[in-house]
Structure 1
Amino acid sequence: MDRLAVIGNISRDRTRYPDRRGGDFLGGGALHIALAAARAGVTAAPVSVVGGDLAHIPADSLLIDVDWSALHVAAGPSGAFTIDYDVDGHLVAVTAEYGVSEGLTGHALAHIARHPRDRYHVCCRRPLDVPVVLRTLTRCAARFSIDFFLPSATQLIPAAAPWLSHADVIFTNAVEHRLLEQVMRRTATEQNPSAEQTTSVLRSVVVTDGARPVRWFRHGRLQESCTPPDARPVEVTGAGDTLAGHLLARTLHGDSPAAALRSAVHAATRHTAAPRPVPGPA
């Protein structure tokens, strides 16, 4: 079975809610996705750069399912994010200190050059140079999926547009999906003023929407939908990443789309119910 190489950040995260939920966690898209995929039974490696302050996480007994062979430890502080939510878990603001993750693009390109046959997932989030990475993956005919992060989606979805049709799966939330449709419509019009196609050129798009049904589109047509179980979330950070990692893993295992989506939605719900959803030191 293919190794899933997840290009993205591993960081120190601090979440804050008006009702005093939240706290300090080990986080980052690459960690959440790789951990969810590993727990679902595939080999998953974060392609990430951390500082000496997080150099010890591969030894954490609660993270042993993850393949740490693609982790690079650099001199300096790891990335750190402070994430503010409203009481319903909607994102309000993010403050970022990227630290040594500024070197992520170079590390990712080196990994792709050594392992072009890995199955890739790209967390399209700063400080990664998304166009360079997606262009490289497309040129070497690598299989890849991608996701976005709302605070940077307005800039990074258009930047990724030339390579979106090459992605096996694109993961978005509802707001990002609307941005994606706008970008695809504008791109199609620029290429052919009479064109009516929008997201139909995209192979597969999974859209999360809080407590509302998760929708899975294929070439612009709704193929699967699954409503999350009724549960009050404790910590929402990483829920979408958990769904993505689990879904990718179950797809690699050969599950049907309906079964893979149902399993992934339940995994994300379990993630939100845990007060400390990702183990390991913060």
Structure 2
Amino acid sequence: MERLDVIGNISRDRTRYPDGRGGPRLGGAALFLSLAATRAGRQAAPVCVLGDDLVQLPKALGLGTLDWTALIQVEGASTTFDLEYDVHGELVGVHTEYGVAEKLTAHALRHVDQHPGGTYHVCCRRPLDVAAVLGRLAAYGSGFSVDFFLPSAKDVIRVAIPWLPLATTLFVNAAEYRLLERGINCGALPEVVITDGPRTAMVHHFGRQVASAVPPPSPVREVSGAGDTLAGTFLAYRSQGATAAQALAEATSAAARYVSAPPHPIPAPRRG
């Protein structure tokens, strides 16, 4: 089965909730999506840039199953996110220091040039130059899927619109889907997965609903990364021949397990 190359960030995060949950942890869409795809049976490689503060990451417990050959490590600080959620798990504030992720666009373009026949997922969020990366993938005829991040989705969706009908699958939450509808005829999109937290998730093919699933109830420990887990699982099952309904059922279950699991700790810095 062909590897899924995931273009995005891996970060040092801190999450905050009104009830005291949260704290420091590993984060980043490229990490969570790649892990989910791997666990669902598809080899995945984060195409990312790590700072020297995460040099030990590829050897960290639980992450050895990933293909780390598509990352580069450079001097400087890795991306950091400070994420604040309300009592319902909705994101209400975010502060970001991009650090070495400013080099992600150049790295991603080089990687695509070296592997034009690959299959890609693009985490469409800052500081990635989404137009440059999607344009390069489209020029090569590479297969790709995309997702967004709500704080930047309004601007990023607008930039990405020319290439979205070429994507195999788009992943959006309910708020992002409303932004999508304002900018493009969703009937032109082959596959859109729409999530809404613990509520019903849906799959649309060319504007027509073809599947739905309600995530199984589970205690919520951490929501950051749940959407990436759903996306990686869905893509893995679809690549193995599952129907949209089968893939969505597996993906919502994986996301439900994720939110109740302990977070990945940030590896200790290398000594010496």
User: TM-score, normalised to structure 1's length?
Assistant: 0.93
In structure 2, what is the equivalent of residue 235 of structure 1? 222
Say yes or no: does 1:266 pair with 2:259: no
**Paired residues for 1:1-282 under 5 Å:** 1-184=1-184, 198-276=185-263, 278=264, 281=267
Q: Quote how far apart the aligned CAs of 1:118 are.
A: 1.3
Deviations 1:206-241 (CA, angstroms, capped at 9, x unpaired)? 000011110000000000000011223110000000
The change in CA–CA distance for 1:69 and 1:143 in structure 2 (over 3 A counts) is same
| Alpha-carbon distance between aligned partners in 2 of 1:280 and 1:222, rounded to the nearest angstrom | 40
Letter matched to residue 169 of structure 1: T
| Alpha-carbon distance between aligned partners in 1 of 2:266 and 2:24, rounded to the nearest angstrom | 11
Letter matched to residue 262 of structure 2: P
Letter matched to residue 281 of structure 1: P
Specify the SS of the correspondent of 1:2: coil
Q: Is the 8 A contact 1:63 1:280 kept in 2?
A: no
| Alpha-carbon distance between aligned partners in 1 of 2:119 and 2:176, rounded to the nearest angstrom | 24
| Alpha-carbon distance between aligned partners in 1 of 2:266 and 2:241, rounded to the nearest angstrom | 30
Q: Is the 8 A contact 1:62 1:280 kept in 2?
A: no
| Alpha-carbon distance between aligned partners in 1 of 2:84 and 2:49, rounded to the nearest angstrom | 24
Specify the SS of the correspondent of 1:182: helix
Q: Where do 4+ consecutive residues of structure 1 move more than 4 Å?
A: none
In structure 2, what is the equivalent of residue 190 of structure 1? none
Letter matched to residue 218 of structure 2: A
Which consecutive residues of structure 1, in runs of 5 or more, have no partner in the other structure?
Answer: 185-197
| Alpha-carbon distance between aligned partners in 1 of 2:155 and 2:267, rounded to the nearest angstrom | 32
| Alpha-carbon distance between aligned partners in 2 of 1:151 and 1:137, rounded to the nearest angstrom | 25
| Alpha-carbon distance between aligned partners in 2 of 1:257 and 1:158, rounded to the nearest angstrom | 27
User: TM-score, normalised to structure 2's length?
Assistant: 0.97
Deviations 1:215-274 (CA, angstroms, capped at 9, x unpaired)? 000000000000011223110000000000011011111122211110111000000011
| Alpha-carbon distance between aligned partners in 1 of 2:45 and 2:68, rounded to the nearest angstrom | 6
Q: Is the 8 A contact 1:62 1:279 kept in 2?
A: no
Q: Is the 8 A contact 1:213 1:227 kept in 2?
A: yes
| Alpha-carbon distance between aligned partners in 1 of 2:218 and 2:254, rounded to the nearest angstrom | 12
Q: Is the 8 A contact 2:24 2:265 kept in 1?
A: no
The change in CA–CA distance for 1:125 and 1:87 in structure 2 (over 3 A counts) is same
Letter matched to residue 133 of structure 1: V
Specify the SS of the correspondent of 1:65: coil
Deviations 1:16-35 (CA, angstroms, capped at 9, x unpaired)? 00100001111100001001
Q: Is the 8 A contact 1:147 1:172 kept in 2?
A: yes
Q: Quote how far apart the aligned CAs of 1:279 are.
A: 5.3
Deviations 1:25-62 (CA, angstroms, capped at 9, x unpaired)? 11100001001101111110000001011011111131
After the TM superposition, which of the residue ranges 104-113 and 247-256 deviates more from structure 2?
247-256
Specify the SS of the correspondent of 1:12: strand
| Alpha-carbon distance between aligned partners in 1 of 2:150 and 2:257, rounded to the nearest angstrom | 22
Which consecutive residues of structure 2, in runs of 5 or more, have no partner in the other structure?
Answer: none
Q: Is the 8 A contact 1:63 1:279 kept in 2?
A: no
Specify the SS of the correspondent of 2:216: coil
Specify the SS of the correspondent of 2:229: helix
| Alpha-carbon distance between aligned partners in 1 of 2:109 and 2:254, rounded to the nearest angstrom | 31
